[in-house]
Amino acid sequence: MRTSLACTIAFVALISVPSLFGLRAARGQPAAPALASLELTGPYVYQNLAVFAVHDKNAAKHDDILTLQEALAQKVVTVAETGDVNRLVARNHGKSSVYLQAGDIVKGGQQDRILQHDTLVPPDGKRVMLNVFCVESGRWHERGSEPAQHFASSTATFMTKGQKMAVKVAGSQVAVWSSVAAAQAEIGGRLGHSVHAPASATSLQLSLEDERLGRTVDDYVRNIEKQIPPKEDLVGYAVAVNGKVDSVDVFASPVLFGKMKGKLLKASAGEAVANKSDKPTSTPGTDAVRTLIADAESGTARTERQNLRTKVTRKETAKNVVFTTDDPFIPGKPVHRNYLAK
């Protein structure tokens, strides 16, 4: 088994991406008309979690895209071991493209893994290599009745800021393991109950399946979801924990966001649980979201191509970072934009 301590990102191009919500990029260029129509509503608040809904009246319309969770459940995509702990291979045997999002956790194999980058896998059956990190240390064999050479499910994603920084920004296996251990300790401390699973104490996926954590997370999700207006132009959301905006996710279409919303809301609720404080916190306004976006968009753009179709552009400043995923399957609209506060 080979373990890579860090993934080296090869940047191949410099591009400029317009800003969101009517903001201007660092060089004074106005937002593109398609992006200027984005609006924020909220915040929608439950305990220490606040969510702002992102609306786009000019959202993309496209043929159906399956999420990784859907595609694995339908058995139209396979994600398999390669013998390299930090590389997996995906094949799509279905009729629709499959969207794999950075942070998606695949369960099983020789070890549970987490995806480093957004990737769209076309329906051509060809091999698509995936950069991954372990979110379970010490195991390199089948677990119970799970298959050892491929992964059967993907129901969870990373949640804490530490995990997001380790996977997407630092690209460090050591940092990922450290962030998993920290999250397990933080959640266990808040719940007064260990979330280390007997089957594998180091597995983040199994910790996220803890029943007590699940009930607490469901309370957050239920209370947030009933506040968000059920509008057809909903394409994403911004999240604030303990009064600070942590992240913004914007998708090309309401269809794709609708499929990802449940997994993302659960992850945000898990982050709120892990970081819950007894001290009261103020709720930020929409200006805090706009400030994060404007700062991230002011960074220098660097692009990495994930396969023949998908490319991910990264812009970064001292305070924030944005990852923009583009694919010709959805022309004129980024598939996904993920803004993160450091």
Kindly report, residue by residue over 129-176, the tens digit of the pLDDT: 999 999 999 999 999 999 999 999 999 999 999 999 999 999 999 999
Lowest-pLDDT range of 97-101, 165-169, 304-308, 319-323: 304-308
Instruction: For 165-219, write each residue's pLDDT tens digit.
Output: 999 999 999 999 999 999 999 999 999 999 999 999 999 999 999 999 999 999 9
Instruction: For 29-81, write each residue's pLDDT tens digit.
Output: 333 333 556 899 999 999 999 999 999 999 998 878 999 999 999 999 999 99
Q: Which residue has the tokens 């893994």?
A: 113
The two tokens of residue 28 are 């004074």
Domain chopping of the chain, boundaries: 1-64+163-342
Q: Are strands 300-305 and 128-134 parallel, antiparallel or unpaired?
A: unpaired
Nearest to 245 by CA among 7, 51, 11, 8: 51
Element holding 62 (H helix, E strand): none
